[in-house]
């Protein structure tokens, strides 16, 4: 029996384009969440977990409104975080980003990601779990499953309400089934990706 994890970045939040950290979903974000729910309507979800931040909690509520059999639950393991600091392999063009990150933030982020991986990348036969979280958290899970070097999380990006699926069959390693699938979103709702992926 296969265990599936559906990783989704929250919908676009109001004023995201003006750099506000958190807030309610924008009308576009709300629509992204509704279309995500429709996309998942055939999936026998066994659990829905979400980051406690407002943009993720509201995305989870919007999904649950259209999928009444699921009850979303918050978990601090899915908070937005910084999984690592600069490593010797990190491209220099990321220095400005890491320049504004404190050691304490990195320490907390690394610990959170270790706990999140230990909690969620553990086999539960026939489980279908939806995780509504943040760009960096999904990047860390994808990097983990691919066995990529730690710095690579910086280069893995997901759009708002894009669908990334991980799966594990009995006795097999976790595998990446699909990454940032946007098939349920029309072009005007595909938001949140950097214009150019920086490597
Ligand atoms: O700030 C961001 O770019 C990302 C980092 O994870 O967060 P979010 O998915 O909440 O927009």
Which residue, among 8, 26, 22, 2, has the nearest Cα to 123 in the 3D structure? Answer: 2
Q: Is 80 in the pocket of ligand 1 (CB under 6 A)?
A: yes
Q: 50 CB less than 6 Å from ligand 1?
A: no
Does the C-beta of 49 come closer than 6 Å to ligand 1? no
Collect all residues with Cβ–Cβ distance below 8 Å to 120 and sequence separation of at least 6. Answer: 5, 49, 77, 129, 131, 141
Shortest CA distance to 61 belongs to which of 40, 41, 34, 38?
Answer: 34
Compute the distance from residue 17 Cα to the ligand 1 centre, in Å.
12
Can you give the pLDDT of all 199 residues of the chain as single tens digits? Answer: 999 999 999 999 997 666 677 889 999 999 999 999 999 999 999 999 999 999 999 999 999 999 988 899 999 999 999 999 999 999 998 999 999 999 999 999 999 999 999 999 998 989 999 999 999 999 999 999 999 999 999 999 999 999 999 999 999 999 999 999 999 999 999 999 988 767 7
Report the pLDDT value the prediction gives residue 196, as an integer from 0 to 100: 74
Q: Comparing C-alpha atoms, which of 133, 143, 156, 146 is closest to residue 49?
A: 133
In ligand 1, the atom with minimum distance to the C-alpha of 56 is 10
Q: Is the CB of 9 under 6 A from ligand 1?
A: yes
Residue whose CB lies within 8 A of the most ligand 1 atoms, among 8, 9, 24, 28, for a mutation test: 9
* Complex ipTM: 0.96
Ligand 1 atom with the shortest distance to the CA of 10: 9
Residue 40: predicted pLDDT:
97
At 11 the pLDDT is 97
What is the reported pLDDT for 52?
97
User: Does domain 3-189 sit in CATH 1.10.10.10?
Assistant: no
| Backbone angle region of 192, left / alpha / beta, with phi > 0 → left and psi within -120 to 50 → alpha | left
Q: Domain map of the chain by residue range? A: 3-189
Residue 177 Cα to ligand 1 midpoint, Å, equals 22
């Amino acid at each position: 029996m296969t265990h599936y994890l559906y990783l989704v970045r929250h919908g676009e939040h109001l004023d995201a384009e003006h750099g506000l950290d958190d807030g309610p979903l924008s009308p576009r974000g709300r629509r992204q969440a509704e279309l995500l729910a429709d996309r998942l309507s055939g999936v026998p979800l066994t659990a829905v977990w979400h980051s406690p931040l407002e943009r993720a909690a509201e995305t989870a509520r919007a999904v649950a409104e259209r999928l009444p059999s699921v009850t979303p639950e918050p978990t601090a393991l899915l908070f937005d975080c910084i999984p690592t600091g600069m490593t010797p392999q990190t491209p220099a063009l990321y220095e400005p980003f890491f320049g504004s990150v404190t050691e304490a933030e990195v320490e907390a982020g690394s610990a959170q990601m270790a706990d999140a991986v230990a909690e969620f990348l553990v086999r539960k036969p026939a489980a279908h779990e939806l995780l509504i979280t943040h760009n960096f958290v999904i990047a860390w899970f994808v990097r983990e499953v691919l066995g990529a070097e730690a710095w690579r999380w910086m280069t893995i990006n997901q759009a708002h309400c894009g669908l990334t699926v991980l799966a594990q069959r009995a006795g097999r390693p976790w595998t990446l089934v699909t990454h940032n699938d946007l098939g349920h979103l029309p072009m005007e709702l595909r938001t949140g990706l950097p214009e150019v992926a920086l490597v």
